[in-house]
Structure 1
Amino acid sequence: MTDTQATPVRPAAPELRIVEKRVYRGPNVWSYEQAIHLVVDLGVLEEYPSSTVPGFTERLLEWVPGLSRHVCSRGRQGGFVERLHEGTWMGHITEHIALELQNEAGHDLRRGKTRQVKGKPGHYNVIFGFVDERVGLAAGELAVRMVNDLVQHDESFDFTEELDNFLRLAQRTAFGPSTAAILEEAASRDIPFIRLNTASLVQLGQGVHAQRIRATMTSRTGALAVDIAGDKSLTNTLLSSAGLPVPLADTVRTEDGAVAVAERIGYPVVVKPLDGNHGRGVGINLGDEAAVRAHFPVAAAQSRRGVMVVESFITGNDYRCLIVGGRMQAIAERVPAHVIGDGTHTINELVEITNADPRRGVGHEKVLTRITVNEQAEELVRMQGFELDSVPPEGEMVKLALTGNMSTGGISVDRTFDAHPENVEIAEEAARMIGLDVAGIDFICPDISAPVRETGGAICEVNAAPGFRMHTHPTIGEPQFIAKPVVDLLFPPGSPSRVPIVAVTGTNGKTTTSRMVAHIMKGLGRQVGMTSTDGIVIDERLVKRSDASGPKSARMVLQNPRVDFAVMEVARGGILREGLGYDRNDIAVVTNVAADHLGLRGIDTVEQLAAVKRVVVEAVPRDGFAVLNADDPNVREMRKHCAGNVVWFSLQPPGSEEREFIEVRLRRGGRAVVLEPTDRGEMIVIRHGRRSMQLAWTHLLPATFGGAARFNVANAMAATGAAYAAGAPLHDIRQGLRTFTTTYYLSPGRLNMLDVRGTTVFVDYCHNPAGMRALGDFVNNYAEQRAVQADATRVSRIGVVGAAGDRRDEDIVELGAVAADYFDVIVVREDDNRRGRPVGQAAELVARGIQQRMDEGARCRVVEIVPEEDTAVRHAMVLANAGDLVVMCVDKHARVLNELEELSQSAYAGARADEDRAGDPDLDPVELHEAAEASAEEARSDYTEAEAPAAESP
């Protein structure tokens, strides 16, 4: 820090602002866990670290004293405060404030980092963990406003009010005590969960193992049992028929009916809604007709159906017995809301003192609920001989509610180990009679430690979805860990909660590799859920057509109850945008890393791109596997970031540098999939230490076209490594590879071969230079195979090529240059979505690369621009003769294949004269160019002058 910076001069106008927000919902490039990423611009504050702003640190610690516990880079408590005094930048301070604000809201978070954005002075990446993304984002936004206000106070900013609003947001979005207890228990067992809505509906587990909870109702809670428990009259009848002690009761709809029933069963009575809950509308110890008539409207106001229950009043204490899976798990004595006189304060003041307890909040947000003084409470106080402004004698208890519900401000006392065995048996039998897996049995009796049949007492209610907080956080007594039996009920010890996840990434080949893995596992009888750039496939059925290689699609697969094996194609964009859609993958496959998508989201080099794709390797657990391409140096380096085992694969022959690299690891017991030359061709071999297991000859795999498609040989080897790591038997892997073809049904848009009126057509998704080289090598190999059977001197190679508009200009030009080495004629098209470029610009760049290579003597002789894809397809087929080879690198493969099917079925062939066409290599080059230009001119006539490409790049 310079002397100028150390001078305490307050900046004129603080400008710290958030430029970009991202929420990573799984492992990402910054963290192994979910995190929020803010890109902030410090503006003038780049010149003002904390030590240069007078009073900054003191006011900050006054507002957020918890920052004094942050260790920061010093590794000890108070380390961050030291950094503040020494001088640290405002982006770093924003990170720590955002973490501490979430800690204030009850979220235990410590993970965060701040790094400067390369090439952008004053811009910083601020990353910090979160539990609830809405709370995390709100914390980041408030932290920025706090920093600006601390630098220069804004009269419109009231920190106390802003903090209260933030905490209220956190309370609204937080799980309730019951749900939170179950999720904590699930997390301790490594059971993953997904929040399905903004309330308390949660999925535990994945795929076929998934179970759902809503508060304390579970996937195993019967709807009929819930209905019965909600009907208090029917509940009473069923329990009575089982010989269980219940109060005398009947249902009524009118006030007169209530009085009649009360007189028949005898006073005192209880009047409550038939379908009520949480003690709402319950009137107890009603001793005469007047009391019944006075309370009836109160109960009716809380009833949805207008039916009231009148039952005999049972004297005694209120006990809640929690039954899970038919077994007693906890008992709590519920004491109604009350205050204890101290001889000094009024009842109103005592209520305020009681509500000041930090354990008390609104509703179910905390372990205790604040006491509310309403008309019923005021009347109850009068019945005890006091007014709200009276000062009760010291030690005297003044009730403010008749029922012991926690939701009305009551407290709980743990009595789990005090209950008499007979009472436990009665409560368990009651839960079985109603049919609830999780039930709250309300006992009224003098003492739970004595048999209720002897002391008098009864079951007054059976509750579905009983609250847990009176048991997990009793006011008096030991907490009971009742979430354990609930999770045991859903996931018995030893039962799985996760489905195996194979994540496949790479620049090229990831879609085909994913499909191969899914095909192999389907052959084993697995119900495979797969995401890819073409959509979401569940058990070989396409359920959603879109680019589904991101985290949202991954979560859709893991939520599907049929899936017992998941294959996720993971793209660069999804990782950068949201991270992975899950916490870890059992097997990570990286096919290769090449220059593609560079210049986007701060990724400018192949090494940076490799670091992004490496996230799937970092998400492999210790007992998992990474399947890595040993032929790619960037992929080889990923082994250093894998906590699990590595399975290598390589196309290189024995004796090569790559094979020697693998051999060293095999001698240490490693695993690999390699090629071994034989007198009958190349054999794919699985190696595990000293063991060597032959799998299949490459030329017998349909997807390799007799071994010509080397990239599909590599994809098959990667899929083999993944399937072997997943435990698939060798004969099933072999069968899967032998039955996997590149037909449109198994691999749409990936090297699909068609015969269109004698012309061989391949449809592929190739869209980058590395992919074009691999595809070009296939064209050469395939053409050599055909040369043995046909006169290759009259076979033309025609390519349809296009580039995505969001690539760098140099990458698009390179794509054209590479294509020029493999095709005689190239038709350049454009994607429907030009991704920010004007019409024709990307095509012009491709054509520029082709022309440059043509000037250097490349194979290509003619290049044409036909922007619209369908028109380009038809034009390429006009140029082709029977026996020619046409390779179409397309955007919308379904549309293109449909077009080719129509061409194949139509009389289109009649329009092709018998004379030589542009595709004939024997045609004079000048005539060839003139014929092609004439054909292309007609295709271009559909575009108006306004659609002409711009001269400059965007």
Structure 2
Amino acid sequence: MTSKRIEFLRVTHLNGPNIWTYRPVIEAWLDIGELEDFPSNTLPGFYERLTAMLPGLAVHRCGVGEPGGFLQRLREGTWAGHILEHVVLELQNMAGMRTGFGKTRQTSTRGVYKMAFRTRQEQVGRAALEAGRELLHAAIHDTPFDVSQAVAALHELVDTHCLGPSTAHLVDAATARGIPAIRLTDGNLVQLGYGHKQRRIWTAETDQTSAIAEEIASDKDLTKSVLKACGVPVPEGELVASAEEAWAAAQDIGLPVVLKPHDGNHGRGVSLDLSSRVDVEAAYALANRKGGGRVIVERYIPGNEHRFLVIGRRLVAAAKGETAWVTGDGKANVLELVNSQLNTDPRRGTMEDAPLNRLNPHEAAEIVLELQRQGLTAYAVPALGQKVLIQRNGNVAYDITDEVHPSVAAVATLAARAVGLDVAGVDMVLEDATRPLTEQRAAVIEVNASPGLLAHLKPASGQPRDIGQALMTHLFGSQDDGRIDVVGISGQVNTTPLARLLGWLLHTCGRKVGLACQEGFYLGARCVDARDCTSWAQGQRVLLNRSVDVAVFEHSFSAILSEGLAYDKCRVGVVTDASRFEALKAFHIDNLDKLYTVARTQVDVVLPHGVAVLNAADAQVVEMAALCDGEVIFYAANADNTALAAHRVQGGRVIYFEGSEMVLAQGAATHARLHLPSLWAAAPAACDWVLAAVAAAWALGMSSELLGAALRTYKPTH
């Protein structure tokens, strides 16, 4: 048996920023065995087999920086770990989960590589890794592999585990605004922002969406009463409890009429333009079945169905509906005509990302009833040239946002406000949305909570609308990024006492502090959990807490390597040291350069308006100053430290000991002198971590007076 195979030594999902990138990745340790001696250009037929299996590899840029770069590397010769990286990325893309980042690096052990690739969902990424290995083996050994089957299985995992397309659009919009996002469940419940600034969304619902308003919207009769009282045009109608009552109501209202469920949405169970008793009674049965109870009979308003999306007090998108027809050829039945004339439209599908639904005239009750009214069934054969109406509503996917008349927009926003929804889908029937309402018959027929967004994000025709940015503005205003102050502390020396002291300093100045460190999880001065809380999961507890306005995290280097950081960005990043790698050899960190890559992760995530607090006595840490997007504060025990002195010359902020005092300085000016409490005064040089804590509090704007008072009152509990 050949040993030209790849073995997985370790597969880890890094949940947060890590040594590879700012985003979650899967890191796989690979042993490529004999393949170390067989780069791609030495494997006969491999290039042709792999590119035939995955033609999309042709657009991968790789290190060349342009499409075709990876194929160039394949022809020149590259190793199996690097090839697997690109195969896995391409499989994820083919399955509908777009990703592009990947890196592969050799370790000091021959044939062993670390490979990392971006994935938006852990289960999908792990499955793609397994499938990618098998595909690569098949290409190497010229054995069969069913690519379409593998992609179909991955696509099913994407549909099951990933955010829906609407929620994913909203999260992408948050990311574009710099607003962090945390997925709270396996479904579409997402937290945007951290701590006390957080907001929550569930697709098109927000934490501002009123439960009372949702109840009103689900009660169509009550909705109509509320709208009518506010001057919104609505169709005349009655609530009925039997087919006989429905016919009587239809006669009272005046034919033709509409029947729909009392509690329904998305057009289910709705029948339009009914003029006969037979049709009314059949429509009643359908609406009763779909709604599970009472039925509404309304006056039929001629015109097209429209959906207006209102967010806050603003109309942000509008879509128009069209009726669906087929034309007979004298040979094919209705079902065949629908499949050939309508369902072949690539915009129609069964998945959530299709702007138009696939039509099933032999199964959909609304269509079956519509055909019956025309004396047809799904299996009837219409005459040559005979037009058959398949669906009157449900095709609202043609964007008209820029064409809506102000009077129409005003009524749509009024309807949403009247019901009380912050995000609403207002359904209106009117002849022409570009004309004033006073010139046509029009009526609001429904106001929907949690409206579908896809018709506006991916319309069947017209311009897609940026619903996500509109919702972000609604939730956060035009400037807020939903962030609280986050402080990350990384290193191997005295990081726990540093974190505890910083938590106390911030607590004493009135901040609502959440602290996750080796000694526990703290809210203010109260220990909530006395276990080691430096894991990624424990860090998430801080960010989820609605009372917290500043979060402090302690990270060991091993935690960065095994899980990643618990947050995406921080206001202050503290690095205490980067000089000893012996404890990290199990992670293949066996020299100072590799240790530098780990430690710099904390500096890489400092925000542009943030601060890196760096130990000026550690040469490796000093080098990280150039990587910081924000400001740098150096700390050192002695004022004559070379890096500290040079930083002062450049006008930077520093902190150091002078006798029993801590000196806070910027450039040539002294900002403050703080007396060092007796707790540390006996050996100040060994307590440079106190300087780091004070520097971090200073970076967050804490005054020297409060810093002095907080230091005097600090009493360690361990």
Same fold (TM over 0.5): yes
Alpha carbons 2:637, 2:684 under 8 Å: kept: no
Matched residue, 1:443: 428
Matched residue, 1:41: 31
Alpha carbons 1:52, 1:87 under 8 Å: kept: yes
| SS, match of residue 431 in structure 1 | helix
Counterpart CA distance in 2 for 1:64 and 1:581 is 35
Matched residue, 1:308: 295
What displacement does 1:740 show? 1.1
What displacement does 1:389 show? 7.0
Size of the aligned set, in residue pairs, is 713
2:211 counterpart of 1:237: no
Matched residue, 1:665: 647
Matched residue, 2:119: 130
Q: 1:47 to 1:301 in 2, by over 3 A?
A: farther
Matched residue, 2:682: 707
2:668 counterpart of 1:690: yes
Q: 1:70 to 1:344 in 2, by over 3 A?
A: farther
2:631 counterpart of 1:645: yes
Matched residue, 1:143: 132
Counterpart CA distance in 2 for 1:466 and 1:556 is 31
Counterpart CA distance in 2 for 1:414 and 1:76 is 35
Higher relative contact order (CA 8 A, sep 6+): 2
Matched residue, 2:361: 373
- Aligned to 1:741, which of 694, 715, 718? 715
What displacement does 1:216 show? 0.9
Q: 1:598 to 1:96 in 2, by over 3 A?
A: closer
Counterpart CA distance in 2 for 1:353 and 1:737 is 78
What displacement does 1:720 show? 1.2
- Aligned to 2:392, which of 384, 392, 402? 402
Counterpart CA distance in 2 for 1:160 and 1:22 is 27
TM-score between the two structures when normalised by the length of structure 2: 0.93
Alpha carbons 1:92, 1:126 under 8 Å: kept: yes
Alpha carbons 1:513, 1:718 under 8 Å: kept: yes
In structure 1, give the amino acid aligned to 2:713.
T
What displacement does 1:228 show? 0.4
Alpha carbons 1:716, 1:737 under 8 Å: kept: no
Matched residue, 1:882: none
Alpha carbons 1:233, 1:251 under 8 Å: kept: yes
Counterpart CA distance in 2 for 1:234 and 1:318 is 21
Q: 1:357 to 1:543 in 2, by over 3 A?
A: farther
2:690 counterpart of 1:716: yes
Counterpart CA distance in 1 for 2:329 and 2:187 is 41
In structure 2, give the amino acid aligned to 1:689.
G
Cα deviation code 1:892-916 (max 9, x no counterpart): xxxxxxxxxxxxxxxxxxxxxxxxx
- Aligned to 1:282, which of 263, 267, 270? 270
Alpha carbons 1:337, 1:411 under 8 Å: kept: no
- Aligned to 1:675, which of 657, 682, 690? 657
Counterpart CA distance in 2 for 1:476 and 1:153 is 45
Counterpart CA distance in 1 for 2:650 and 2:383 is 81
2:599 counterpart of 1:613: yes
Deviates more, 1:451-460 or 1:385-394: 385-394
- Aligned to 1:187, which of 160, 175, 187? 175
| SS, match of residue 136 in structure 1 | helix
Matched residue, 1:623: 609
Deviates more, 1:47-56 or 1:90-99: 47-56
What displacement does 1:224 show? 0.5
| SS, match of residue 693 in structure 1 | strand
Matched residue, 1:55: 45
Q: 1:152 to 1:598 in 2, by over 3 A?
A: closer
In structure 2, give the amino acid aligned to 1:300.
N
In structure 2, give the amino acid aligned to 1:476.
S
Q: 1:342 to 1:31 in 2, by over 3 A?
A: farther
Q: 1:368 to 1:39 in 2, by over 3 A?
A: farther
Counterpart CA distance in 1 for 2:289 and 2:457 is 32
Alpha carbons 2:540, 2:566 under 8 Å: kept: yes
What displacement does 1:277 show? 1.5
Alpha carbons 2:674, 2:704 under 8 Å: kept: no
Matched residue, 2:61: 71
Alpha carbons 2:353, 2:454 under 8 Å: kept: no
Counterpart CA distance in 2 for 1:738 and 1:254 is 79
- Aligned to 1:531, which of 513, 516, 536? 516
Counterpart CA distance in 2 for 1:57 and 1:536 is 53
Matched residue, 1:327: 314
Cα deviation code 1:496-521 (max 9, x no counterpart): 41111111122121111112212121
- Aligned to 1:178, which of 146, 159, 166? 166
In structure 2, give the amino acid aligned to 1:77.
P
Cα deviation code 1:19-74 (max 9, x no counterpart): 32111222212223322111223234334333333332222222221111112222
Counterpart CA distance in 1 for 2:359 and 2:529 is 51
Unaligned runs of 5+ in 1: 1-10, 405-409, 750-954
Matched residue, 1:559: 544
Larger Rg: 1
In structure 1, give the amino acid aligned to 2:322.
V
Counterpart CA distance in 1 for 2:324 and 2:121 is 32
Alpha carbons 1:226, 1:464 under 8 Å: kept: yes
Counterpart CA distance in 2 for 1:641 and 1:215 is 37
Counterpart CA distance in 2 for 1:97 and 1:357 is 31
2:485 counterpart of 1:512: no
Counterpart CA distance in 2 for 1:397 and 1:543 is 71
In structure 2, give the amino acid aligned to 1:245.
P
Q: 1:344 to 1:123 in 2, by over 3 A?
A: farther
Alpha carbons 2:319, 2:396 under 8 Å: kept: no
Matched residue, 1:115: 105
Cα deviation code 1:689-736 (max 9, x no counterpart): 0111332232xx1532x434653x312211111111112111112222
Counterpart CA distance in 1 for 2:490 and 2:318 is 52
Counterpart CA distance in 1 for 2:24 and 2:712 is 40
Q: 1:19 to 1:675 in 2, by over 3 A?
A: same
| SS, match of residue 83 in structure 2 | helix
- Aligned to 2:477, which of 492, 507, 526? 492
Counterpart CA distance in 1 for 2:411 and 2:423 is 15
| SS, match of residue 570 in structure 2 | coil
Deviates more, 1:447-456 or 1:435-444: 447-456
For residues 463-482 of structure 1, the aligned pairs below 5 Å read 463-482=448-467
In structure 1, give the amino acid aligned to 2:656.
V
Q: 1:593 to 1:84 in 2, by over 3 A?
A: closer
Counterpart CA distance in 2 for 1:535 and 1:307 is 56
In structure 2, give the amino acid aligned to 1:328.
L
Counterpart CA distance in 2 for 1:660 and 1:257 is 92
Matched residue, 1:575: 560
What displacement does 1:337 show? 4.6
Counterpart CA distance in 2 for 1:208 and 1:132 is 27
What displacement does 1:612 show? 2.2
- Aligned to 2:287, which of 280, 299, 317? 299
2:666 counterpart of 1:729: no
In structure 1, give the amino acid aligned to 2:673.
L
Matched residue, 1:427: 412
Q: 1:296 to 1:55 in 2, by over 3 A?
A: farther
Cα deviation code 1:885-944 (max 9, x no counterpart): xxxxxxxxxxxxxxxxxxxxxxxxxxxxxxxxxxxxxxxxxxxxxxxxxxxxxxxxxxxx
What displacement does 1:212 show? 0.7
Unaligned runs of 5+ in 2: none
* Alpha-carbon RMSD: 2.6
TM-score between the two structures when normalised by the length of structure 1: 0.71
Alpha carbons 1:346, 1:392 under 8 Å: kept: no
